[in-house]
Chain A
Amino acid sequence: MLSYIIRRVLLMIPTLFLVSLVSFTIIALQEHFNGDFVSQLKLNPQVSPETLERYAKNLGLDQPWYVRYGKWLYGIVGKPTVDLSFPFVHFQPMDFGYSFEKRQPVGDLIMQYLPITLLITIPTFIFVWLVALPLGIYSATRQYSLGDHSLTLFSFVGLSIPTFFSALVLLFVLTNLGYPAVGGIFSQPYIAGSPWPWHWNWNKFVDYLAHLWPAVLVIGAAGIAGLQRVMRGTLLDILGSQYVQTARAKGVAERIVIYKHAVRNAINPMISIFGQSLPAFVSGSLLAAQVLNMPNLEIFYFQSLQPPDEYVVVTVLLFFALFLLIGNLIADILLAWVDPRVRYE
């Protein structure tokens, strides 16, 4: 098992390298056709073409894209230098480059956006899984009942309404009802201070909850709808299988049939879904967060696309890819742990 994990981790390195290469190439193409970071200043009569040229030079944009990519890569692996003193190759801390726009190291910027992202994604995640799994089990075990039909209807509605729209409607309704906590994660007096909950006082926590539930409801609704359908489908598959019939025929209690025999087997695909959703955990949603005014990492990434802030874009993409790989690895390990039949060599 350990050797399997090590192998998987080592395999991540070429994968991530390829991800970064492909992303950087795409950004370079976008810059070629659609203009680079400096192009946004064009058509401003106050800025002369010479000034633009100097900008590009100062940002390193006068060099070809592969040189810029090479520099970035060199920084990421820690700018290795070789000399004769032990251990011969010396590394510096990882350097993801500077943001053109914000003039800060990209790593710092990601860390600035991460807390807010997690403040929303973790509760949403818990909410979605706590609600979706029981609902899925409920509708699978009571197929075609009134409850199952209402849940199906809810799923279709939840999946088909875009989240930004439901967010806007919810905010609009809340504003008209006079609800004071519309948009954002905190009310103005509580925004300052640490984003980490263990530094908060009670009032700030209450304020956070008041802002949280609309977001959890809006972002979670779509998630619940999808997850609940998957759970229902896999459980129905298994409930129709022969060993379940056998168990029932043996006279095993229905509760044990469902929870011990059926659900335990139906949970495997859910674990894969869990692994794949890890990047969403760190990115958050884009459109709903924009309407709800919650500046998460995905919004930061989106802003960096136009005008292309290339080091930010490629680093964030790399970051998401890393989490996808880690998520899949965790899912595989969990699968082996949950299901004794799964073994990796």
Chain B
Amino acid sequence: MTKWRGWEMKLVLFLLTLAGMMVVLAGCGGQKQTSQVPQPPTQEQPKAPETAKKEEAPATKPEERALTSEEKIPQEEKTKEPGAPTPTPTTPTGAPQVVKVESFPENGYVLVGGSAAYNVYLKSTSALSGLAVELKLDGKAVSSQTVALAAQEEKMFRFEIAKLDTEGKHTVEILGWKGTLSVVEPAVSPLRPGSIPPDAQVITADHGIADTGIPGGKLVVTVFGTGPKTLNPATAAETSSTDIILLMQSSAGLVDVNPMTAELMPGLAKSWVIAPDGLSVTFYLRRGITWSDGQPFTADDVVFTFMDVTANDDVNTNNRDGCTVAGQFVQVDKIDDYTVKASVTEPYRPLIRDCLSLTILPKHKLAKYVAKLNPGAGGALQGIQSTVNNNREDLKKASEQALAALDEALKQLSAAIDAKNAQQVTTAAEAVKQALDQLIQALEPGDLRDALEKSKSYADRAAQAAQAGQFAGVSPDTFNNTWNTNTPPEEFAGLGPYVLEGYQTGQQVLLKRNPYYWRVDADGVQLPYFDELAVLIVQNIDTQFLYFKSGQADMYGSRPQDWAEIVGSAKDKGWRTIKDGPVYGNTFLVLNQDIAKLKPGDPFHQALQYVMRAKEFRQALAYAMNRQGMIENIYQGLAAPQWAWISIPSPFYDPESAKQYPYDPPKAKQMLDDLGLTDVDGDGTRNITDKFLVSQQACRDNADCAQKFGPEDQRDISFPLVTNRGNTIREQMSQQIEHDFKEVGIQAKYQAQDFNALVTDLTGGRYGGVVIGFTGGVDPTSFNVWRIDGFYHFWRYSAKDNPPEWEVRAQQLQEEGAKVYDVQQAKEQYYNEFTRLESENLAVIYLINGIFLYGVDQCLVNSQNFRPQSGNLQQWVAFGDKLWWQRTDDCRQKLEAKGRLAVSTSAR
């Protein structure tokens, strides 16, 4: 009896404790609110939010305006590369016709004192020479070009407006082509220190500032993972580092990518000209813009970035491959302080997007860490030694005695450098120079003599370096270790919207606005709007969502499983939800068409190879896959099927060209039956029948087939299906594929494998089927994959000996397509055919791709423009300089409570 009562009481006690704990929790919540720091009053902005909203994004040309208002309709208007082609106006016969005009700036906005340029493509029906073509600004000729054209020749002429002095709208006219130019007065507020150079870029609705805004406040975002690994733009390899770096160092290189359309737009270069042969691009840099430490940005920084860092073998950078065309690194030359030229040995369109958009590095900060540029005394010595050793025989002939003296002097120099004695180094360097002089006198004028003269200057350099205390020079690894997360903020200099304020290991990266940023909005207000941007580092995705839910973070790139909750509480919490098409990247199933290699000499695998190589077999499997099922089961319906290599958000993708394989098991079965792959023994799995093998000319008749490949009933179509362990989405996909294939009588035996082993098998061609993916980009060019001898041509490495016809064509389309700079032209001439070809032949069978999901605080203006086109960038990177806080009463109240309108320096 007593025992019973005891248990009951314990239970009651336990429940009471629980309830007590809840009360304590709730109580603490209340207490915390009262203990909050008093916020200092926010700076009153001169502009009220209502007046800030200008008339909806005045567009440049009427044609473009129509396009912007229909922005949401995909594909059609994506043809605008910088400077949209405008319909050719009718011109009197005899005069040249304007084929297309590339306008810089492409949105038609410049600051007072800024400049504009037009690349005008002219064509004439008859030969012309000495015709003066004028560019008229508001009816007045300001620039002129003498045009000489052969009949039917198309040629580009560049027109410039050096300086635009008066604010307001202007019209530009060239041979009947009309454009508008809006000149904006810079708006410098005394409350916000900053400098706006006249060449600054005006960011408009086309780029994601639909509403111009009120500066001030702070944005808080989270990033999943462990935070940046390094802050060095050249060596950073993963997004947790590059996202931060792009905010600090500028997401724009010479060219930038428009986050709304994924098209190219001007960046640090205000305009460029692609040479007619496609072998060089000349960039005209913005003048007067400065690094975040106030130092001027010039062509030297550009050359340094490409030639001294990216091309440098000591530097661990992933960027070099993108800058290497036909085995040769792009040559970047300085023409003058504000003009650079990039040259390649064959035309290569992806060069601009993958290489020339790289973050530019400050030479004045980083040159001292590059070993190549800082040889030190030791390096200079090495230079002399290599010259001497390479020409030892010739020098011996010239003067054996002088050579011996030189060797002795070099020995002394080496000892002096090792002892780090500057005085001795200087003396020894003198001795080296004397010995060199003797040799020079003994030699006939020529290359060797010049080389020795150069060695003399090395000896001088060794002495100078020793005087400066640089004995060893800079180690080759120094640059890789430069600008890590422990580097003090003042060591950095960037061109990005923000500068580093501090990094608290594993907790947050705190950024503040760069007062030298070179972009303004259409009102002339310097960007970014925010004074501070805090990136909180969160180790766990569930916790990341909780940060957004509790208002500690302002946006959240949602997982499918969180989406229902975000949509459900959006109204209560004041969230904006953004759902858009699929993101970049592709996940696919690849079937090994060299499957005989999996078990060399095994007759069954040889027979299976004929099956894998049959296009209809792969197509049948594509029809057998229930992609909708995957979308429902794995992504809660928030995914889209993919049909082609080119990612769906890419401007290069053409949905019409991609052959689709909707889920249709009867059709799949029919196709397999038609191939002759029937289940002859009734065990539920189809067999590689003699009929099929005969039709593939693998054997002549039943007896021959049995002799070559073994008995028919033992040839069940069965192969291993592998994906990398730990990737739950791919694991689930593989399980579904195993199930779907079984439905049509194909046995795929699924198992998970460690990533590294999987990659080794895949690139060694020893696998059956693999589910894997690539992170896709905008440009379809991927020689590593589509060249028949490419390193990642893993579906059929043997193709290089005996290539199928379509693969030869696909390679040709890839190679030729990459030479065409105009997106629309490249698409029409090459990539639509490429997509048709590869989606028909199914080298890999594409699966599904997640769609773009974002939850954002409603008060964050311009966040409505978030979209997958901005690529693999976080939206707070792509839009980091374009967002601002709405200051309506509701928003102001909420933001003040969250501390977003005060900057954190006041709270510490």
Contacts and interface: CB of A to CB of B under 8 A. Distances in A.
A303 interface: yes
Contacts of A180: 29, 32-33, 550-552
B762 A210 contact: no
Interface in A82-113: 98, 101-104, 108, 112-113
A45 interface: yes
A195 B551 CA distance: 24
Interface string A144-185: 001001100100000000000000100111110111111111
Contacts of B551: 180
A58 B508 CA distance: 30
Interface stretch (A21-29, A249-257, A293-301): A293-301
Interface stretch (A34-42, A229-237, A266-274): A34-42
B547 A182 contact: yes
B502 A192 contact: yes
B320 interface: yes
A291 interface: yes
Interface stretch (A47-55, A70-78, A336-344): A47-55
Given A51-B321, A103-B232, A183 B485 contact: no
Contacts, number: 209
B549 A299 contact: no
Main secondary structure of the interface of B (DSSP, over half): mixed
Contacts of A55: 316
Nearest to A289: B539
Given A45-B782, A179-B25, A39 B759 contact: yes
Given A34-B754, A104-B484, A179 B550 contact: yes
Contacts of B904: 188-190, 192
A177 B754 contact: no
A290 B6 contact: no
Nearest to B32: A210
Contact of A184 (B477, B536, B542): B536
Nearest to A148: B10
B759 A116 contact: no
B806 interface: no
A116 B550 contact: no
Interface string B505-529: 1111010000000000000000000
A191 B510 contact: yes
Contacts of A103: 229-230, 232, 235, 480-481, 484
B10 A43 contact: no
Contacts of B14: 150, 153
B481 A43 contact: no
Interface string B624-659: 000000000000000000000000000000000000
Contacts of B774: 43-45
A15 B856 CA distance: 54
B374 interface: no
A255 to B, nearest CB: 26
A192 B540 contact: no
B765 to A, nearest CB: 14
A193 interface: yes
A255 B215 CA distance: 69
Given A173-B25, A188-B904, A291-B540, A43 B792 contact: yes
A55 B762 CA distance: 22
A206 interface: yes
A46 B318 contact: yes
A292 interface: yes
Contact of A46 (B37, B322, B502): B322
A58 B480 contact: yes
Contact of A153 (B10, B37, B506): B10
A299 B762 CA distance: 32
A203 interface: yes
B397 interface: no
Contacts of A42: 756, 759, 763
Given A58-B316, A146-B9, A191-B507, A181 B755 contact: no
Contacts of B486: 104, 108, 112
Given A43-B762, A104-B481, A149 B6 contact: yes
B229 A58 contact: no
B763 to A, nearest CB: 8
A79 interface: no
A55 B537 CA distance: 28
Interface residues of A, number: 70
A112 B505 contact: yes
A261 interface: no
Nearest to B547: A183
A211 to B, nearest CB: 10
Contacts of B755: 35, 39
A10 B576 CA distance: 64
Interface string B347-368: 0000000100000000000000
A303 B881 CA distance: 32
B706 interface: no
Determine which residue in B480, B501, B908 has the highest number of CB atoms from chain A within 10 A of its CB, and name it.
Answer: B908
Determine which residue in A103, A174, A178, A182 has the highest number of CB atoms from chain B within 10 A of its CB, and name it.
Answer: A103
B226 interface: yes
B504 A300 contact: no
Contact of B25 (A43, A113, A174, A292): A174
A213 interface: yes
A177 B754 CA distance: 42
Contact of A179 (B29, B229, B540): B29
A68 interface: no
A186 B508 CA distance: 10
A189 B505 contact: no
23 contacts: A39-B755, A41-B237, A43-B762, A46-B321, A48-B321, A49-B791, A55-B316, A59-B316, A101-B229, A112-B486, A112-B506, A149-B6, A171-B543, A171-B546, A173-B22, A178-B29, A179-B29, A182-B552, A184-B552, A190-B904, A192-B510, A192-B908, A210-B35
Given A41-B237, A103-B480, 20 more contacts: A34-B754, A39-B759, A42-B759, A43-B772, A46-B321, A46-B354, A51-B318, A51-B320, A58-B314, A108-B486, A112-B505, A116-B505, A146-B10, A175-B550, A182-B552, A188-B220, A188-B899, A192-B508, A291-B542, A295-B506
Interface of B: 6, 9-10, 13-14, 17, 22, 25-26, 28-29, 32-33, 35, 37, 220, 226-227, 229-230, 232, 235, 237, 313-314, 316, 318, 320-322, 354, 476-477, 480-481, 484-486, 501-502, 504-508, 510, 534, 536-540, 542-543, 546-547, 549-552, 754-757, 759, 762-763, 772, 774-775, 777, 782, 784-785, 791-792, 899, 902, 904-905, 907-908
Interface of A: 33-35, 39, 41-49, 51, 54-55, 58-59, 98, 101-104, 108, 112-113, 116, 146, 149-150, 153, 168, 171-175, 177-193, 195, 201, 203-204, 206, 210, 213, 289-293, 295, 299-300, 303
The 5 A-B pairs with the shortest beta carbon distances in the complex, nearest first, are: A295-B506, A35-B756, A189-B907, A179-B29, A112-B505
